[in-house]
Amino acid sequence: VLRRNVSADDRIRNNLMQLVDEGSVAIIGPIRQEILSGIKDEKKYLILKQYMEAFEDEKIETIDYENAALISNKCIAKGFAVTAIDALIVAFAVRNGWEIYTKDKDFDRYEKISRLKKYVER
């Protein structure tokens, strides 16, 4: 939604702006990387990068990497595809008791094997 300019994304954009206004948004490096990856237009990349500079990356701890490995192992055992970055995002959010605001359907599976909570749009 941050990379597109589609009217269907207005609800998501408005929710995100409200969360930012409330001070309820945090980011870790892997999320920053995922958001900025795949932007073909360098000007758009630089604009989005500048917007995101308002948020400092939260510190990822060793336990987050260890828990990410456990999450990956559980996913593999259940036959779910998993990426290392997604597992790390889930592990970090669970440890901190944070919700994740995402439209990525992969996170529906992660809810089934962890204590992950997804943000519910208002």
Output the tens digit of pLDDT for each of the chain's 122 residues. Answer: 455 555 667 888 888 889 998 988 999 999 999 999 999 999 999 999 999 999 999 999 999 999 999 999 999 999 999 999 999 999 999 999 999 999 899 999 999 999 999 998 87
For residue 14, being part of any structural domain is answered with yes
Q: How many domains does the chain have?
A: 1
In this structure, the number of other CB atoms found within 10 A of the CB of residue 19 comes to: 16
30-35 LR contacts (CB < 8 Å, sep 24+): 30/60, 30/85, 30/88, 30/89, 31/89, 32/57, 33/85, 34/85, 35/2, 35/3
In this prediction the pTM is 0.85
The residue segments making up the domain with residue 93 are 7-118
Q: What is the CATH number of the domain that holds 94?
A: 3.40.50.1010
